[in-house]
Structure 1
């Protein structure tokens, strides 16, 4: 699944091509994604200028004066900027046709993505209203992690992946941040002190910022909006490396499952 850095990479790739341009038409070939694409999007979006392309958690927000298109890439979705007359493939479900003769095309083989429409402030939409702060924003820090973790017996890895605590810390980056912070992923969140919460918050920020700078992770189902894969996977310290030597101490990394997700850690460096 594309994680926050991949979504942010996509946003940065498409925003300069959409902002300030009008959407002339919407072509829906397959309405049945995770939720049905609302017909109001086809009625109300054409003719509108794109005022901004933003991101909230893993959702892309295409803002116009009439409303906001809320787009989620799901498990396998991707976006391309193409000439509008480019023949559509079997998994090319939606085109947002632009005034310059190009289109923003949504491809989603598994159809777990979403394209919704709201006339209200998107922050009040049911999918966004209960989300926690952005990990790279000013509201997120060790004090917030410490306050929200008190009394929690949940493994810290599951805790930081909870979008009500902080958004966008997916499985890959949770593994990496906990390794950098020296925290065992199965440790109860409520047993982590303030100093270590500070260290963990900083590690989350660093890992995500580096991933964004390097174009996201080279996942099988994701390619950047310009057609180039991301390269952050080349610098992953622990994720996908169970049984290999720890890059810090040389001890064999261990792999377990927490909340049904693969979890790799160093039993010497993480406590």
Structure 2
């Protein structure tokens, strides 16, 4: 599933193309699922910007407010496991059958004659229009997100204190999104390797927690610079792949020599997720 660097890379490509654009028509897959909600409200609204919160893309909308109570609206997008966006010339002859063939689940026609198409073969993505900032009951995971890791809100002392309060394995705590937003399986493995912390450790200590805080920032910033990590599904709006896969030290490196000490990397399962660590550098 795309994590913060991948979503941020998509955001950076979408924002200049969508900011100020009016949505003149909307189509979405009628396949019933809670991940698509009130999509039709988007029609007739202008997209003010494309921002990001954790792994979500947030687009504040200009125009008439919610049909329910007039509140300003916001478009919430999530790539899920296989979601991607593409621009294409609007085609009035295009049918839902054409979209189904291409795994297009939503299509937004813009005032410049282009469509923005959301393609999602495995259907785990989200397209929702909500009253701006009102995520309770609509996108509840947005309500409980921790601080943005590259912002000043991600305070090292607060992070160390929060980590000390949990009895969960440290990797599970990172994946839970409450301590810090946007870190998933790839970058949890990478940050824990860099901080020399075993992914299953339940007691980290202040010094190592501060090292982990710094490592999270470092691995995310480096991956954003390389436009994310592509293994199979993740692609940017241009169709290009991220360039970070060749720079990974831990994730997916099972049985290969550790880049730090040469010990073969070990694979395991932590928090029901495949995990890789160095048994020499990252001791429990």
Q: Which residue of 2 aligns with 1:24?
A: 24
Q: Which residue of 1 aligns with 2:151?
A: 137
The count of aligned residue pairs is: 266
3-state DSSP class of the match of 2:26? strand
Contact 1:78 1:108 in 2 (8 A): yes
How much is the aligned-residue C-alpha RMSD, in angstroms? 1.7
Q: Distance in 2 between matches of 1:33 and 1:216?
A: 31
Q: Which residue of 1 aligns with 2:124?
A: 112
Q: Which residue of 1 aligns with 2:39?
A: 41
Shift of the 142–111 alpha-carbon distance from structure 1 to 2, 3 Å rule, reads same
Q: Which residue of 2 aligns with 1:187?
A: 201
3-state DSSP class of the match of 1:264? strand
After the TM superposition, which residues 218-257 of structure 1 pair with which residues of structure 2 at under 5 Å, given as runs?
218-257=230-269
Question: Unaligned stretches of 5+ in structure 2?
Answer: 66-72
3-state DSSP class of the match of 1:143? helix
Q: Distance in 2 between matches of 1:33 and 1:114?
A: 12
Q: 2:190 is matched with which residue: 169, 173, 176? A: 176
Q: Distance in 2 between matches of 1:161 and 1:127?
A: 13
Task: Report the alpha carbon displacement of residue 107 of structure 1 after superposing the two structures with TM.
Answer: 0.5
Q: Provide the TM-score with structure 2 as the length reference.
A: 0.89
Contact 1:160 1:169 in 2 (8 A): yes
Contact 2:6 2:228 in 1 (8 A): yes
Q: Distance in 2 between matches of 1:152 and 1:36?
A: 30
Shift of the 33–241 alpha-carbon distance from structure 1 to 2, 3 Å rule, reads farther
Q: Distance in 1 between matches of 2:200 and 2:133?
A: 38
Q: Distance in 2 between matches of 1:258 and 1:52?
A: 37
Kindly provide the CA deviation profile for residues 25-82 of structure 1, in whole angstroms up to 9, marking residues without a partner as x: 1112x133652533x431x322211111111111111211231111111111111111
Shift of the 144–269 alpha-carbon distance from structure 1 to 2, 3 Å rule, reads same
3-state DSSP class of the match of 1:115? strand
Q: Distance in 1 between matches of 2:198 and 2:209?
A: 13
Q: Distance in 1 between matches of 2:33 and 2:122?
A: 9
Contact 1:142 1:200 in 2 (8 A): no
Contact 1:142 1:199 in 2 (8 A): no
Contact 2:60 2:132 in 1 (8 A): no
3-state DSSP class of the match of 2:77? strand
**Which moves more between the two structures, 139-148 or 232-241?**
139-148
**Which moves more between the two structures, 199-208 or 156-165?**
156-165
Q: 1:148 is matched with which residue: 149, 162, 186? A: 162
Q: Provide the TM-score with structure 1 as the length reference.
A: 0.93
Q: Distance in 1 between matches of 2:256 and 2:273?
A: 19
